[in-house]
Amino acid sequence: MPNTFGKLFSISTWGESHGPAVGVVIDGCPPGLPLSEADIQVELDRRRPGQSDLVTPRKEADRVEILAGVFEGRTTGVPISLLVRNSDARPGAYDEMREKFRPSHADFTYQAKYGLRDHRGGGRSSARETIGRVAAGAVAKKLLAAGGPVEIRAYVSRVQDIGLSGLGEFPTAAAVEATPVRCPDAAVAAAMIKRIEDVRAAGDSVGGVVTCRVRGLPAGLGEPVFDRLEADLAKAMLSLPASKGFEIGSGYAGTFLRGSEHNDAFVPKAEGVGTATNRSGGVQGGISNGEEIYFTVAFKPVATVMKPQATVDLAGHATELTGRGRHDPCVLPRAVPIVEAMTALVLVDHWMRNAAQTHVFKF
């Protein structure tokens, strides 16, 4: 199903940017997990628009409502239905887009595929769809916390050509959230903020990179062929609006090394077997090896810019279009909680699949 992600722990998102509401149905959540709207709201508040001058000024509280699947504060094991109402939709800002295709948006491809489209803010192709992912990711994070001390930390590591050098220490949540750009280095964050502000003032947009790191994950999660852990992480990340690239571990940089330089030697550690280096990014043969998982996701500049751009209309005639409405000049700050949510969804699904394979039957 094109709107469903995951196998044992699966989610189906629904809704459009300027429709009455958006939401998600979560299937496969075990019964008995303590869950409240407040648990989910804390993650949605990190994603919502209007939280700083660096993001879209659309004013949405993004208050989540639990419609089903939770009784007396605990999950019941049946599907969980979550809803967030749209309250500040302004579809009139997109009237011109009814007849004209926005460059580098999904307008033309949706029209080509379905023969019609919801032009209001991009409809289903809008990043507002990610509300359901973040809400479901909050549930997945609670499950991971119940399973062990797993930490997922995403942060902005580069805005255009301004970035961090290397991984450094595992950042704290406080350091990431200390600035509106969500970069844990205060000096680099200040330069990033200045770049985004300058770009916005010019009516333009800018892209960059989000880094995500996971520690505390046990060895053995993942599958050996088509559902390799890194493959599912890649699919999760490349399903995000504006994402254009994914690298795990050494990524493309590893192609400059020889095998003898790139290999991660096994060494004894207090908790068992480990590796002296981690160019594999915590995954070998599609399965987690117990080391820190780290990967990066590249996001393109936001396609809607407040400048005239050449395009065509529904009849194929050349025309011009200037962006209107409320848009992020840079998606990166709000992408951070979305990347964390998708990571949590992948890890929970693989944890459950691993448990089903290794702990149900005893021979």
Q: Which domains does the chain have, with CATH numbers?
A: 4-358 (3.60.150.10)
Give Cβ neighbours of residue 92 (< 8 Å, ≥ 6 apart).
Answer: none
The predicted pLDDT at position 1 comes to 64
The predicted pLDDT at position 271 comes to 77
Q: How far is CA 75 from CA 5, 33, 67, 250, in A?
A: 20, 5, 12, 39
Segment 149-159 shows an average pLDDT of: 97
Residue 95 has pLDDT above 90, yes or no: no
Q: Residue 26, Cα to own-chain centre: how many angstroms?
A: 17
CA distance 214 to 281: 10
Q: For the segment 99-134, what is each residue's pLDDT rounded down to a tens digit?
A: 899 899 899 999 999 998 888 878 888 889 999 999
Structure-model confidence comparison of residues 271 and 35, the more confident one:
35
The predicted pLDDT at position 32 comes to 97
Residue 117 in 3-state DSSP? coil
Confidence bin at 362 (pLDDT 50/70/90): low
Q: Which pair of structure tokens corresponds to residue 96?
A: 């011109």
Segment 340-355 shows an average pLDDT of: 97
Mean pLDDT of the chain: 93
Residue 91 has pLDDT above 70, yes or no: no
For the chain, percent of residues with pLDDT exceeding 70: 96
Q: For the segment 225-251, what is each residue's pLDDT rounded down to a tens digit?
A: 999 999 999 999 999 999 999 999 999
Q: Please provide the DSSP assignment of 176-195 as one string.
A: HHTSTT--S-HHHHHHHHHH
For the chain, percent of residues with pLDDT exceeding 90: 76
The predicted pLDDT at position 360 comes to 65
The predicted pLDDT at position 322 comes to 83
Exposed (0-12), middle (13-18) or buried (19+): which is 358, by Cβ within 10 Å?
Answer: exposed
Question: How are the residues of the chain apportioned to helix, strand and coil, as percentages rounded to the nearest 5?
Answer: 35, 25, 40
Segment 147-154 shows an average pLDDT of: 93
Q: For the segment 273-319, what is each residue's pLDDT rounded down to a tens digit?
A: 999 999 999 999 999 999 999 999 999 999 888 889 999 999 999 99
The predicted pLDDT at position 326 comes to 67
Helix (H), strand (E) at residue 337: helix 332-358
The predicted pLDDT at position 61 comes to 86
Q: From 140, 135, 116, select the one nearest 21 (Cα to Cα).
A: 135
CA distance 155 to 335: 9
